[in-house]
Structure formats: structure tokens, C-alpha cells
Structure 1
Amino acid sequence: MHRIIALAGVLIAFFACSKERKEKEVSHQEMGAHGMSSDWKFTLPKGDPAEGRKIFVEVECYKCHEVKGEKFPAVAEGEKGVGPELSQMAGMHPREFFAESIINPNAVIDADAKKLGYVGEDGKSKMPDYNSVLTVKQVADLASYIASLKGLKPNEHTGH
């Protein structure tokens, strides 16, 4: 129940903080029976990828997620590879997908995730949720950083 309340709070904060969202006046009839416009779309506030990279380091995402081409503190061998490599995430998913994965890693679990070791025996992601750890701005920044990762060009050194 606390997760639902916290997630609702995050969603409300996303709407309140969004500068990209255009205000639109709609009639009660247009809103439908449940008070939602038919063209409603969730919009994540614009994030800062540079700040997101700092958060990636602060909350130690690099311990589980490699980012080829990025240099992070050394990681013990047993902690590496618990999550997917992230260097080519740009273009694969919108920022909202990454934000949801950060606050609720069990929302979407890839069919191959268990085989790859990203899922525990209970069928849930090994990634902790950061719902009560990060602010809305931090989630937006971190999602923007991940969405900015374009991968390496051929023969580019990884720095590892």
C-alpha cells in the first residue's frame, strides 16, 4: 500500500514539475467517466544527463550496470553484471521507460532476464527500487543520462 501511495506521489510530482507539458482546457465530457482526457499522456520533466551521471555514481548503479566508454570506480568481480550493460540505451526506450525501471524495476521484466541473471528465484528483478530514495528531479536526471547513452563507435576504447 505504501508503494502505491509513494508511486502516486511521484506521478503527481512529475505532473507538477513538468515545464514541457502544455496546459489544455477540456470539458468534463471530454474528460470521460474517470476524469481523464482521451489524449492524456504522462510527461517526464526534462532531466539533465550530466546530473544524472553524477547520480548514477552516487547511488552506485555502476556496480551492477556497465556503461562501455564510461569510467567509474572499480567494482568487485562478484558485483559486476547483475544488471544489463547500458551503453546503447539511447533510442531503445523513452525516458519514461527508464524512470519507471528506476522506481519500479519489476514493472517490465525482459523474457531473457532470468537466464541472464537479472532476476531472482522469486521472479522479481534483482534491482532495488529507488522509489523512496530519489527525488523526482533525480529520477528525471538519471533517466535522461541513461537515454543519452549512444554506445561506442567501432574500435573506440572502453576505458576499462
Structure 2
Amino acid sequence: MLSLAGCDTGPKSGKGFTLPEGDPQMGRQVFIGMQCTDCHFLANDSTVKQPDNPQFSIPLGGEVRRIQTYGELVTSVINPSHSLPSGYQKEAISDNGQSRMRNYNDIMTVTQLTHLITFLQDQYELQPFEPSMYPSFH
């Protein structure tokens, strides 16, 4: 019964929610223009300015074991305290346990958000799966 609660399709469900595809080049401009580089750096793109404070720089992109979904990336921008990854830098978390990321909800347009998310998705590369080696049993 509990497993069914996670599949809720009630009125507050995210089921059916989608945004249009963005333009990654425009998303790069949003990333720079909204000053995301104050706190974030791109693991695979050294052409984008790095944060001025190397002790407080949150990486985005690079090789990962699991690609974040479009919805997870949207949520991380519009509600950055929703799910803080383990090992998150303590300088990035306020005294009340919330992300210190600025709230962009009143200054970023939906169009800018779609461009930004498309750009960010392109920054991640899925690590190839390497199966465990087991002896063969014949």
C-alpha cells in the first residue's frame, strides 16, 4: 500500500507536467547572465568563468552514475532546498538547513528556465556501466 502512495496522481501530482525544449546556447547565456558562476562551475567547460571563491564552488556536470531528470533539474533551480545531495558543502547551507542559493523564481522567466535546464542537461555525461566480475559457474 505504501508503494502506491509514491505513484500519486492526485491534483498536486507532477504527472503530465512538462516544459518546452530549450536552446542550450541561450541556456549558457542565462547561466552566465544570472550569475550562476558566482557559486557553480561546469566540470566539462573551462571556458565559463569559475567562481571567485574556490572554497565555495559547487560543481555541475561531468561524469555521473545517474543523469538527473528534467524535472529534478527544474526543481533544483526553483526550489534548491528540496533535496540537498549528501556531501553538499556546508558553506552552501544556511543555519536553518536550507540552500543559500538565491531565489530566481521572481526574476527568471519560464523561457529562461527552459533554456537553462536544456543547457545543464547537456553538461552531464553518464558513466558507462561496468558490471561486477563474477567467476563463471559451469
What is the aligned partner in structure 2 of residue 56 from structure 1?
A: 31
Q: Please report the TM-score for the alignment, with normalisation by the length of structure 2.
A: 0.69
Structure 1 125/137 Cα, relative in aligned 2: closer, same or farther at 3 Å? same
Percent identity, aligned pairs only, is 25
- Structure 2 CA distance for partners of 1:83 and 1:133, relative to 1, 3 Å: farther
Change (3 A) 1:118 1:42: same
Q: How many residues align?
A: 116
Is 1:118 the counterpart of 2:92? The answer is yes
Q: Does 1:42 align with 2:17?
A: yes
Determine the C-alpha separation between the residues in 2 that align with 1:130 and 1:96. Answer: 17
Q: Aligned residue for 1:14?
A: none
Q: Could you say which structure has the higher strand fraction?
A: 2
CA distance in 2, matches of 1:53, 1:39: 27
Deviation at 1:150, TM superposition (A): 3.1
Residue 150 (structure 1) aligns with? 124
Give the letter aligned to residue 43 of structure 1: T
Change over 3 Å in CA distance of 1:72–1:114 after alignment to 2: closer
- The alignment partner of 1:124 has SS state of coil
Task: Give the Cα separation in 2 of the matches to 1:94 and 1:135.
Answer: 20
Matched residue, 2:135: none
One-letter identity of the residue aligned with 1:72: V
CA distance in 2, matches of 1:59, 1:118: 18
The residue aligned with 1:87 is 61
Q: Equivalent of 1:109, from 84, 89, 113?
A: 84
Instruction: Give the CA RMSD over aligned residues.
Output: 2.9
Question: 1:128, CA displacement in angstroms?
Answer: 1.1
What is residue 48 of structure 2 aligned with on the other side?
Answer: 72
Any stretches of 5+ residues in structure 2 without a counterpart? 1-8, 126-138
Where is the helix percentage greater, Structure 1 or Structure 2? 1
- Please tell me whether the aligned partners of residues 52 and 141 of structure 1 are also in contact (alpha carbons under 8 angstroms): yes
**Bigger relative CO (Cα 8 Å, ≥ 6 apart):** 2
Q: CA contact under 8 A between 1:89 and 1:148: conserved in structure 2? A: no
User: Separation in 2 of the partners of 1:148 and 1:46?
Assistant: 12
1:27 matched residue in structure 2: none
After TM superposition, give the deviation of residue 107 of structure 1 in Å: 1.4
The partner residue of 2:103 within 105, 129, 132 is 129
**4+ residue segments displaced more than 3 Å:** 80-83
